[in-house]
Amino acid sequence: MSTVALRADGLGKRYGKRFALEDCTLEVPAGRVVGLVGPNGAGKSTLLNLAVGMLAPTTGTISVLGGEPASSPAQLAKVGYVAQDTPTYAHLTVGEHLELGARLNPAWDTELAERRVARLGLSLDQKARKLSGGQRAQLALTLGVAKRPELLILDEPVASLDPLARREFLQDLMEAVAEHELSVILSSHLVSDLERTCDYLVVLVDSRVRLAGDLEDIVSSHVRLSGPRDAGHPGELVTARHTDVQSTYVVRYSGPIADPSWTVGQLSLEDIVLAYMERRTEPAPRALEVAR
């Protein structure tokens, strides 16, 4: 088993002139539940689609569990994918979806699939188009899990679900992860979805990776500092906010802060992620405009 779930090196995907994902260098360990968070349009789906081989990269390379995405049946078998909006065949029944999974996957776990469907209360001869959004998501997850992959990738699986269905789906996912020792990469634009489920986080903003690391490390290594204006700050600056007399910084810094003029505040994960989303791209393109 590979120790790296996903490795990207200078990875980029361009549509026309616009990069949906740019210069992405990233290493995600295996055996973790990885949350991929970022605002809408940040490139989350693009990164996941590159990881499952639905897209081919414009620049750089990506490998998943040590292999090129979707390059062979063996590679496909190792990676499960629950796509955005959890597509299913409207005219096929739940039972036929399981049949599809059984016929197209050598490692298919029939018993697991049937047990899950029974527990979810889905009738085998129900057409997929008659299912609710939550049930359809559960069916798609069942297909992904019963395939018995090493890595399960889920692209905004709960985005269209109501809060209750959302919670049930994520709980259910966590049970499957615990039971089958899956690595998981899960994307969402809501930190609250990921906070409960993930132990590793990747923040993607404006088609670039802003932050990646262990969830606990991220929370413990960021602080909010308030103090006299323009007094400077320790660590790496994430955001700064100034009033006439006071500056407030969010910094990445885990050392002790002895200076009594600073007020040190703890940040929740959501605060940290929002701070990274707030931080705009460096004004590098301006120089070009002046030159012109």
| By CB under 8 A, residue 55 contacts other proteins | yes
Of the ranges 75-83, 170-178, 214-222, 238-246, which one interacts with other proteins (CB under 8 A)? 75-83
| By CB under 8 A, residue 21 contacts other proteins | no
Q: Where are the alpha helices (DSSP H) in the chain?
A: 44-51, 73-78, 94-104, 110-119, 133-146, 163-180, 191-197, 215-220, 269-278, 284-291
Interface residue with other proteins, options 3, 25, 72, 171 (CB under 8 A)? 72
59 CB-contact burial (10 Å; exposed 0-12 / middle 13-18 / buried 19+): middle
| By CB under 8 A, residue 61 contacts other proteins | no
Residue 154, SS3? strand
Interface residue with other proteins, options 1, 3, 25, 106 (CB under 8 A)? 106
| By CB under 8 A, residue 87 contacts other proteins | yes
Residue 148 beta carbon to other proteins: minimum distance, rounded to whole angstroms: 10
Distance CA 60, CA 77 (A): 24
| By CB under 8 A, residue 112 contacts other proteins | no
Distances in whole angstroms, Cα of residue 264 to Cα of each of 35, 101, 178, 183, 233: 27, 53, 37, 36, 12
| Cβ nearer to other proteins, comparing 44 with 210 | 44
Strands 200-205 and 208-214, by their bridges, are: antiparallel
Per the document, the length of the chain is 292
Of the ranges 28-36, 105-113, 198-206, 281-289, which one interacts with other proteins (CB under 8 A)? 105-113
Residue 108 beta carbon to other proteins: minimum distance, rounded to whole angstroms: 9
Residue 64 beta carbon to other proteins: minimum distance, rounded to whole angstroms: 12
Distance CA 104, CA 95 (A): 14
CA dihedral for 198, 203, 209, 210, sign (positive or negative): negative
- What is the separation of C-alpha 31 from the centre of its chain, rounded to a whole number of angstroms? 15
Distance CA 256, CA 233 (A): 13
Q: Which of residues 35-54 bind other proteins (CB under 8 A)?
A: 49, 52, 54
Distance CA 285, CA 292 (A): 11
Q: Which of residues 135-194 bind other proteins (CB under 8 A)?
A: 140, 143, 147
CA angle 219, 223, 228 (to 5 degrees): 175
Q: Where are the alpha helices (DSSP H) in 235-283?
A: 269-278
Distance CA 186, CA 164 (A): 18
Distance CA 217, CA 229 (A): 28
Q: Count residues binding other proteins (CB under 8 A).
A: 34
Interface residue with other proteins, options 58, 60, 95, 100 (CB under 8 A)? 100
| Cβ nearer to other proteins, comparing 58 with 248 | 58
Interface residue with other proteins, options 33, 37, 79, 122 (CB under 8 A)? 79
| Cβ nearer to other proteins, comparing 63 with 86 | 86
Of the ranges 99-107, 161-169, 204-212, 253-261, which one interacts with other proteins (CB under 8 A)? 99-107
| Cβ nearer to other proteins, comparing 143 with 177 | 143
Task: Using CB under 8 A, list all residues that contact other proteins.
Answer: 49, 52, 54-56, 70, 72-74, 76-77, 79-81, 83-85, 87-90, 92, 96, 99-101, 103-107, 140, 143, 147
